[in-house]
Amino acid sequence: MLQQDLADTETDFSRLESKLSEVYSYLGGIPARELYKTLQSGQGMSVVYQPQVNVADDQVSTVEALVRWHHPTVGSVSPRVFIPIAEETGLILQVTEFVIREACSVAKRRPDLTVAVNLSPLLFAHSALIERFVKTVEECGVTPHQIEFEITENQPLAGDGSARESIAFLRDCGFRIALDDFGIGYSGVQRLNHIGVDKLKIDQSFVRRLDCLKSEPSHETIQQMIEVGRTMDLVVTAEGVETDEQRRFLASAGCDALQGYLFARPMAARDLDAFLGNRARVPVAA
């Protein structure tokens, strides 16, 4: 259904009304037409940013852009609810373009930062959409090396051959590609070679297990993941870091960067400058 809708990048969203009704009952009780209205009005959708801290110097060179939806009657709607709605109906195109434009506004203001934007694996099967995203970045006046596109490993890439071509095209344009949630999905080492990425992000589920009493298998698993990254000359970032114990182990194991509540919760763009300024004055922890 999504592939058919996305084939024409100028989708007539009025034709989606029946699909918007279909997804109401099983996706969190939020009708998809509400998401469509939000995107059309420009009210209620926002982007927050979570820093990734470099292990080497304790500074921030990348922030991840995370989309949020505040519904006027039910309040905050989890991305786990509305992203599947967007993917099911084709609205994921509008959501992604909104996030890219917001991310570019931060990147343009902070040329020292790379801003990471999540892309649905479903989008990679459509080269016209990928080209459209590249054009959006160009229109915003941002250089490609400041934008990093994250793809999620826990979903297969739709149209795997087309997806590889789209990823190669983005990298040729100067964008970086990160594989998110690494360790829980479809990408063995051989497939990683075929996809072509610049960064691996270790899924937070592995990081959480480091605090368990019997965490030795988790230590070994993470070390193996980091070794995969090292062998392939990839940047390795760990997600979901919440304790000093996790930080120390991941740093000693060879992670390049860390992301999680230990350093910062996702924050609005207006709060990012103050955070980065304060971070520059914080000494590196031993």
Are 145 and 112 in contact by the 8 Å Cβ rule? The answer is no
Distance CA 34, CA 217 (A): 45
What local confidence, expressed as pLDDT, does residue 72 receive? 86
Please give the structure tokens belonging to residue 137.
């970045």
Cα-Cα end-to-end distance for the chain: 52
Q: Kindly tell me the sign of the dihedral angle through the C-alpha atoms of 149, 229, 172, 88.
A: negative
What local confidence, expressed as pLDDT, does residue 125 receive? 80
What local confidence, expressed as pLDDT, does residue 283 receive? 46
- Map out the domains of the chain as residue ranges: 48-66+92-279
Q: Which residue has the higher pLDDT, 191 or 176?
A: 176
Name which of 32-41, 94-103, 188-197 the model is least confident about: 188-197
What local confidence, expressed as pLDDT, does residue 21 receive? 46
The percentage of residues in the chain with a pLDDT greater than 90, rounded to a whole number, is 57
The percentage of residues in the chain with a pLDDT greater than 70, rounded to a whole number, is 80
Of the candidates 79, 124, 125, 77, the residue with the CA atom closest to the CA atom of residue 99: 79
CATH topology for 48-66+92-279? TIM Barrel (3.20.20)
Q: Show Cβ contacts of residue 264 under 8 Å, excluding neighbours closer than 6 positions.
A: 50, 51, 275
Query: What are the tens digits of pLDDT across the range 247-268?
Result: 999 999 999 999 999 999 999 9
Please give the structure tokens belonging to residue 51.
């820093």
Are 218 and 250 in contact by the 8 Å Cβ rule? The answer is no
pTM: 0.85
Distance CA 84, CA 120 (A): 10
What local confidence, expressed as pLDDT, does residue 153 receive? 64
Instruction: Indicate the SS3 state at residue 176.
Output: strand
Banded pLDDT at 5 (limits 50, 70, 90): very low
Banded pLDDT at 218 (limits 50, 70, 90): confident
